[in-house]
Structure 1
Amino acid sequence: MATLNADHINPFLMASTKILKEMCFVDAKLGKPHVKDPVFLDNTLVILIGFTGEMKGQVMIAFEHDIACDIASKMIMMPVTQLDELARSAICELGNMILGNTATVFSTKGIEIDITPPTVGSGTMSFSNNYAKNICIPLEYDDNKKIEINVAIKGD
């Protein structure tokens, strides 16, 4: 599995759009996938979840703070204006659900993966991994709101 292809990325996208719809009542449209350096700016919340097993790598789900508040508001069904502990917890749980669902999709294709507990970061961050290009897929909703799903899969 040295090269990354749609079969590797699609389960992440299927799970992301499904969970956003079920948990947040958000119809996310897929943007154009592109290679992106995993660098995030000051007003960004990032959920980092690794995966191991028959496929290894990491997923970083990035939200600008106002988008993270919007998503957290939809999840807990009350207004969220700042990224307090409850909001961060809700966003972490969203990440868990997306990756758990992704693992289920992969298992139906005969690929078993396990996920790590989520790590939350905020502020200006840069990640480096020496094993894979980071593929960024923007998910857009409500005209101009955007969540970035960043997937880096380790080749053999």
Structure 2
Amino acid sequence: MTLANSMEHLLKSAISSFQTMVPVSITIESTSDPSMNSILTIQHVHIGLTGDVSGSLIIKGEESTFSSLAQSMFGMEVEGAMLQSFTCELGNMIAGNLATEATNAQVSLDITTPSLYEEPIAHHTAVLVSLPLKFQNSGYLHVSISAD
């Protein structure tokens, strides 16, 4: 499988993972939410990818979006350290499901422990695909996959 085909499959798998894990209607947007540029508190979850594709899965969004998703998934509001923990765990669940789906397509993939950042992450990669996802009544998350 070529790198381009692997990247396309990983992006589709990431979307499928969100649809499986999060009980909220998701719309794939052709352009990003303009308000994302003015939000002060943006969370970045970074998960390393190793195996047939070496790179990263990055999930970026507002704290309020992650909080809303936590409430829809678990029926309770989370904030502070619990929200940070949830945000990393959501990234871990998405990446784990993505790795499982990749294996089904004959792409060997392992993931690293998620890291949470509130500052933008520099991308020094050969390939970066990014897709904004809109979650009904919850906000936007931007999913990016890079390959080294």
Indicate the TM-score class for this superposition, using the shorter chain for normalisation. Answer: 0.7 to 0.9
Rounded to whole Å, the distance in 2 between the matches of 1:68 and 1:150 is 16
Tell me the residue number matched to 1:58: 56
Please report how far the alpha carbon of residue 42 of structure 1 lies from its aligned counterpart in structure 2 after TM superposition.
3.2
| TM-score, normalised via structure 2 length | 0.83
User: Which runs of structure 2 are paired with 1:73-88 in the superposition (5 Å)?
Assistant: 73-80=71-78, 82=79, 84-88=80-84
Rounded to whole Å, the distance in 2 between the matches of 1:126 and 1:57 is 13
| TM-score, normalised via structure 1 length | 0.79
Give, as a single letter, the amino acid of the residue that structure 2 aligns with 1:125: P
Rounded to whole Å, the distance in 1 between the matches of 2:70 and 2:117 is 16
Please report how far the alpha carbon of residue 3 of structure 1 lies from its aligned counterpart in structure 2 after TM superposition.
3.5
User: Which runs of structure 2 are paired with 1:6-85 in the superposition (5 Å)?
Assistant: 6-20=8-22, 25-32=23-30, 42-80=40-78, 82=79, 84-85=80-81
The superposition leaves residues 84-128 of structure 1 with CA deviations (integer Å, 9 ceiling, x where unpaired) of 111111111111110100011010111111000000011x42412
Q: Which 4+ runs in 1 deviate beyond 6 A? A: none
Q: Which runs of no fewer than 5 residues in structure 1 stay unpaired? A: none
Task: Tell me if structure 1 keeps the 8 A contact 2:28–2:131.
Answer: yes
Rounded to whole Å, the distance in 1 between the matches of 2:25 and 2:12 is 17
Tell me the residue number matched to 2:134: 140
Pick closer, same or farther for the CA change 1:75–1:144 going to 2, 3 Å. closer
Please report how far the alpha carbon of residue 43 of structure 1 lies from its aligned counterpart in structure 2 after TM superposition.
1.4
Rounded to whole Å, the distance in 2 between the matches of 1:29 and 1:144 is 11
Tell me the residue number matched to 1:99: 95
Secondary structure of 1:152's counterpart equals strand
Task: Tell me if structure 2 keeps the 8 A contact 1:61–1:147.
Answer: yes
More helix by share: 2
Rounded to whole Å, the distance in 1 between the matches of 2:102 and 2:88 is 21
Please report how far the alpha carbon of residue 41 of structure 1 lies from its aligned counterpart in structure 2 after TM superposition.
6.0
Secondary structure of 2:113's counterpart equals coil
Rounded to whole Å, the distance in 2 between the matches of 1:7 and 1:76 is 29
Q: Which runs of no fewer than 5 residues in structure 2 stay unpaired? A: none
Pick closer, same or farther for the CA change 1:66–1:100 going to 2, 3 Å. same
Sequence identity of aligned pairs in percent? 22
